[in-house]
Amino acid sequence: MPIVSPTAPVILWLRRELRMHDNPALVAAIASGRPVLPLFILDRETPGRWAPGGASLWWLHHSLVSLGESLEKAGAKLILRRGAAVEVLRHLVHEVGAAEIHAGRAIEPWARKVMDEVVSTSGAKLHLHRTALLYEPDGIRTQSGGAYGVFTPFSRACLARGAPDKPLSAPLSFKGVSAPSDELADWKLLPARPDWAAGLRARWVPGEAGAAQRLKRVVADVVKGYDQTRNFPGQDGTSALSPRLHWGELSPGQIWHAVEGIESKGRTTFVNELLWREFSANLLWHHPDLPEKPLRPEFAAMPWRRDAAGLRAWQRGQTGIPLVDAGMRQLWNTGWMHNRVRMVVASFLIKHLLLPWQDGEAWFWDTLVDADLASNSAQWQWVAGSGADAAPYFRVFNPVLQGWKFDPKGDYVRRWVPELARLPDKALQNPWDASEEELAAAGVRLGETYPRPIVDLAAGRARALEAFAGLNKAA
Ligand X SMILES: Cc1cc2nc3c(=O)[nH]c(=O)nc-3n(C[C@H](O)[C@H](O)[C@H](O)COP(=O)(O)OP(=O)(O)OC[C@H]3O[C@@H](n4cnc5c(N)ncnc54)[C@H](O)[C@@H]3O)c2cc1C
Residues with catalytic roles: 273, 276, 304, 339, 357, 380
State in angstroms the smallest separation of the CB of 225 from ligand X: 12
- Residue 35, preceding bond cis, omega within 30 degrees? no
Q: How far is CA 432 from the centre of its chain?
A: 34
Neighbours of 425 (CB within 10 A): 14
Q: Cβ distance 74 to 30 under 8 Å?
A: no
State in angstroms the smallest separation of the CB of 17 from ligand X: 15
State in angstroms the smallest separation of the CB of 218 from ligand X: 7
- Residue 370 is a binding residue for ligand X (CB under 6 A): yes
> For residues 137 and 133, what is the distance between their CA atoms, to the nearest angstrom?
8
Kindly identify the residues of this chain, within the stretch 324-363, that bind ligand X according to CB under 6 A.
339, 342-343, 346
Which residue, 276 or 406, is less far from ligand X as judged by CB? 276
- Residue 242 is a binding residue for ligand X (CB under 6 A): yes
- Residue 235 is a binding residue for ligand X (CB under 6 A): no
- Residue 108 is a binding residue for ligand X (CB under 6 A): no
Instruction: Give residue 64's identity as a one-letter amino acid code.
Output: L
- Residue 371 is a binding residue for ligand X (CB under 6 A): yes
Using DSSP bridges, classify how beta strands 79-82 and 36-42 pair: parallel, antiparallel or unpaired. parallel
Kindly identify the residues of this chain, within the stretch 382-411, that bind ligand X according to CB under 6 A.
383
| 435 burial level (CB within 10 Å; 0-12, 13-18, 19+) | exposed
HSE-up of 171 (CA within 13 Å, CB side)?
Answer: 20
State the distance between the two ends of the chain, measured CA to CA, in whole angstroms: 55
State in angstroms the smallest separation of the CB of 458 from ligand X: 23
Neighbours of 402 (CB within 10 A): 21
User: In degrees to the nearest 10, what's the CA dihedral of 101, 107, 111, 112?
Assistant: 80
- Residue 158 is a binding residue for ligand X (CB under 6 A): no
Which residue, 231 or 318, is less far from ligand X as judged by CB? 231
Contact track, ligand X, 194-223, x by CB under 6 A: ------------------------------
- Residue 277 is a binding residue for ligand X (CB under 6 A): yes
Which residue, 18 or 76, is less far from ligand X as judged by CB? 18
List of residues contacting ligand X (CB under 6 A): 230, 238-242, 245-246, 273-274, 276-277, 280, 339, 342-343, 346, 364, 368, 370-372, 375-376, 379-380, 383
